[in-house]
Amino acid sequence: MKFNRRKKITALLLSMLLLLTACASGGASANNTETNKEAEVETVNTEKNNEIETNETKIDEKFTIGISQLVQHPALDASRQGFIDELNNLGVDVDILDQNAQGDIANAQMIAEKFVKDDVDLIFTIATLTSQAAKKAIEGRDIPLVFTAVTDPVFSQLVTSMDVTDNNITGVVDAAPIKENLELFRELKEDIETVGIIYNIGESNSEIQVEQTKEIAEELGLTIETVGITIVSDIPQAVDTISKNAEGLYLITDNMVASAMSLVAKLAEENNLITVSADGNHVDEGIMVSKGISYYVIGQQSARIAKEILVDKVDVADIPVQTSPEFEKRVNVKVMESLGFTKEHKAFEGAEFVEMP
Reduce the secondary structure of 114-152 to three states and give it as a string. Answer: HHHHCCCCEEEEECHHHHHHHHHHHCCCCCCEEEEEECC
pLDDT tens, per residue, the chain with 357 residues: 433 444 444 444 444 544 444 444 444 444 444 444 444 444 444 444 444 443 333 347 999 999 999 999 889 999 999 999 999 999 999 999 999 999 999 999 999 999 999 999 999 999 999 999 999 999 999 999 999 999 999 999 999 999 999 999 999 999 889 999 999 999 999 999 999 999 999 988 899 999 999 999 999 999 999 999 999 999 999 999 999 999 999 999 898 999 999 999 999 999 999 999 999 889 999 999 999 889 999 999 999 999 999 999 999 999 999 998 788 999 999 999 999 999 999 999 999 999 986
Edge-first strand order for the sheet with 62-69 is 93-100, 62-69, 122-126, 145-150, 169-173
Compute the distance between CA of residue 268 and CA of residue 356 in angstroms, rounded to an integer: 17
What pLDDT is stored for residue 34 in this prediction?
46
Residues 6+ apart with CB under 8 A from 333: 343, 353, 354, 355, 356
The pLDDT assigned to 10 comes to 47
Q: How far is CA 139 from CA 126, 149, 162, 278, 291, in A?
A: 19, 21, 19, 33, 37
- Enter the DSSP assignment of 73: S
* CA gyration radius, the chain: 35
Residue 70 CA: distances (Å) to CA of 96, 203, 316? 16, 12, 23
| CA atoms within 13 Å, Cβ hemisphere of 175 | 18
- pLDDT given for residue 356 in this prediction: 82
Mention every residue, 6+ apart, whose C-beta is less than 8 A from residue 277: 181, 250, 251, 283, 287, 289, 290, 292
Contact 120, 143 (CB under 8 A): yes
Provide the pLDDT for residue 18.
44
Q: Indicate the length of the chain as a whole number.
A: 357
CA contacts within 13 A on the Cβ side of 319: 25
| Chain centroid, CA 261 distance in Å | 23
Helix (H, G, I), strand (E, B), or coil: what is residue 352? strand
Sign of CA dihedral 208, 123, 80, 233: negative
**Taking the CB of residue 46, how many other CB atoms lie within 10 A of it?**
10
Catalogue the E-assigned strands of the chain. Answer: 62-69, 93-100, 122-126, 145-150, 169-173, 194-200, 223-229, 248-251, 274-279, 289-293, 328-332, 352-354
pTM of this structure: 0.75
